[in-house]
Amino acid sequence: MKTTHKLREPVKRLPQKRSNTQGVRPFVLVKAFTFSSLIVMLTATIVIAALNAHWVRNILLEKNKEYNSLLVENLNHQIFLRFVAPVVFQHGEIKLREKDQHELLDAVIKSTLHSFHVEMVNIYGTDNVIGYSFDKTQIGKKNAGGVHYEKAMKNQTTSKLVQKGSFLELMFWFPQETKIITFAPLIQEVAFSRSGKRMVIGVIEVVRDISSDYQKVFKLQGLIVASCIIIMGILFLILRFVVKHGENIIETRAEERLRLEEKLRRAEHLSAIGGMTAGVSHEIRNPLGIIKSSAQLLKKKMTKLDPDSKIPDIIVEESTRLNHIITDFLDFAKPKVPDLRPCSLDEVIEKNLTFLASQIKEAKIHIKKDYQKNIPEILADTAMLYQSFLNILLNSFQALQENGTITISTWSDPVMVHICFTDNGEGISQDVLKKIWTPFFTTKDTGTGLGLGIVKNIIEAHKGSIHVSNGKPSGTKVEIALPI
């Protein structure tokens, strides 16, 4: 099927691009705001989770300080009750260098601290010398207590946290080892002097490893942060899906609006052309009828004067051709309202083939029929369908070489009846395919370029649709769908 040669330039699409940009721009702002809000929410959640974990660590530290204070207080009581008082009563003074006294103190301390997970106990004398330690190498070490020892001698209990690990581990509060060290005064609970004053007779240093407790907090912190990241990630994916879906809807609506605007502009353009064409055609048809009838009368008179003259025949032939062109203009400009009556598509097609039988035989064209049985009837104007099918078949004839083939197929679905005309010609180039519905566009030396436009008007007047495409491997395919 051939078509080409454009008489009018297409409408420019610059306004469409601007309109599309205007339609999508507000949604881009919404998308940017959504993503920035999500990032802010995620950051705030992580910060809050970190602060919460820090707060839990501080509570854990305070609880361990209190625990160590109670532990030291109990240890102080047991040491005085089970070691200091008996030794002073029996020997008059405490000498930890003596094996019996050292073993007794060691037994008291270990029995008191059994199952309390104490890593180290050091006992300082009033001279800041370690007199007892779990680590025997520390015994006798001088001035090892530092500031905390001095505070304990002033009857103040202090605690400090010692953490070990790499720089990154300490920076992110995830040390490999965490210990709490408590210095407390070793108090003489019963006064042996007449003053009755309870004296500080030494300092107790207790070291507990609380790494496992801190690791639980760190794991909780990691779990909270990871949970927040996962939840926010899921929200991000959901929002991304919603935003993408909304963006596609807006783009689809924008494209649909642009198509409708283009269709409206084309309809207005065609309406103006149609009005002008209809007026001019009516004005031409009247004098054309007079010219044709005058030429026929002239032919009768010329037969007597000059029987060999062909001038009257030429005038009549050209007048008839011009009348056909004017009829096409009028059919395109003012389509008729179809007279809908039940009809069979097969009968309409067969009527076309009967009318074209001589041309089919002369051009040696093969007609291949592929009709579905029991196709439902449709409500249609038989004359108008006949005209539309005739135009399609004539276009196919002109596109075919000798011994070409045209395949006519029909089938139906629950809603529509389908007709397909397929030829094995050269097909239509993509550039031409985009312009086949443009009025007055044709690739033929003769013709108005309105044939396919008239066919489309007829099909759409029947609430159907028509689609033209290239067949495979070659040729042209015209598909028509009409409602049952």
| Residue 445 resides in a domain | yes
User: Within a domain: residue 450?
Assistant: yes
pLDDT for 419: 92
Residue 475 lies in a domain: yes
Burial class, 191, CB count within 10 angstroms (exposed 0-12 / middle 13-18 / buried 19+): exposed
Residue 397 is assigned to a structural domain of this protein: yes
Number of domains forming the structure of the chain: 1
Q: Is the dihedral of CA 139, 140, 141, 146 positive or negative?
A: positive
On whether residue 384 sits in a domain, the answer given is yes
**pLDDT on residue 441:** 59
Q: Is 143 a member of any domain?
A: no
User: Consecutive sets of 10 residues in the chain, 484 residues long: mean pLDDT of each?
Assistant: 40 43 56 73 75 76 84 85 81 79 86 84 88 87 87 88 76 74 84 63 87 77 77 79 80 87 78 67 70 75 71 76 69 70 88 88 86 87 87 83 83 90 81 69 62 80 86 82 89
Contacts 24+ apart (CB under 8 A), 428-436: 428/1, 428/2, 428/3, 428/468, 428/470, 428/476, 432/2, 432/3, 432/4, 433/468, 433/469, 433/470, 435/3, 435/4, 435/6, 435/10, 436/3, 436/468
Does 379 map to a domain? yes
What's the pLDDT score for residue 481?
92
Task: Identify the CATH number of the domain in which residue 346 sits.
Answer: 3.30.565.10
User: Are 483 and 378 in contact, with CB atoms under 8 Å apart?
Assistant: yes
Q: Is residue 465 part of a domain?
A: yes
pLDDT of res. 29 = 65
pLDDT of residue 11: 40
Q: Of 79, 325, 110, 100, which Cα lies nearest the Cα of 202?
A: 79
- pTM for the model: 0.44
Domain extent at residue 357: 338-483
